[in-house]
Amino acid sequence: MLSRYRGCMLGAAIGDALGMPQETLPPSLSRLDEGYAKPLRRHPNEGLRPGQFTDDTQMMLCAAELLGEGAFTPEEYGRKLAAMHARKRLRFPDGAVATACAHITAGLHDSGRASTTAGCMPLAVPFALVCKDGDEMRECLQAACRVTHTHPAAYGATISYALFLRAVMHRHPDPFRVAEEIAGEYDSQLAGSIRNACVLEKEGLSLEAALINVGNDVSVYHTYPLALFLISRFGHDDAFLKVATHVGGNTDTIGFICGSWLGAAEGTAGFSSEMVMHLEDQAYIEETAELLFDVVSGKN
């Protein structure tokens, strides 16, 4: 199980780093890069090097550190996130996250925005790993999401994703059904989008057509269902993460979700040693995963 903890967090960061240079760009499925790449000039992430990750992994680690120390509260998470943003260390955050951080820095209450963007979805990973009780996790994760996102679809997608990961790690026979059912408890449109993506995958719809039908933008109605489509279609293919991070649009978060699934399913064995070695802060990410494992195991 420790390998799956490490793999889930490493995989999220690896997928994020692979998708980082493709974020906001059109699909490029005919030219899949091998390994990490540098963003184009004038790209929002142009200051990042190959193997560096985006705000998605930063937010995952921010929450994971606090959870591992037993110090997580929505307020403390918000303060830590806002401090990173104020120092211009938060890498190309989505609009809801940036606005929430600005409100926290200004001392305003109710920082969260009624946004359906996927900016809070990275919180799913540390909460999925550290919370033993699913109901307690839902409550705590919803409160954490509401620091930046108050729309039910946004925190519903994040909770669905967290329980999807738990289902994968514990070998549930149908984690995709879990994802759809949990999403439906928060937002019927989100559940419908997930169901549509899964049906289209089973029917054999081409990826190119799925990008039009399902969508690839920053909305949870597109990002999350498309990631589930990709996992179902390509999850056991050697080119899985390469394909997932070249679908255009919100590729960093799509890659993050797909990579976390691969790590939850296969542990660290799901990634080449070279991919792990050249990932930014890989040792620290593994240490943080181990800290969360120790919390669950009762060692801390």
Binding site members for Mg(2+): 54-56, 252-253
What gap in Å lies between CA 125 and CA 285, rounded to an integer? Answer: 12
What gap in Å lies between CA 5 and CA 176, rounded to an integer? Answer: 20
What gap in Å lies between CA 145 and CA 153, rounded to an integer? Answer: 11
Q: Residues at the annotated binding site? A: 54-56, 252-253
145 touches 120 (CB < 8 A): yes
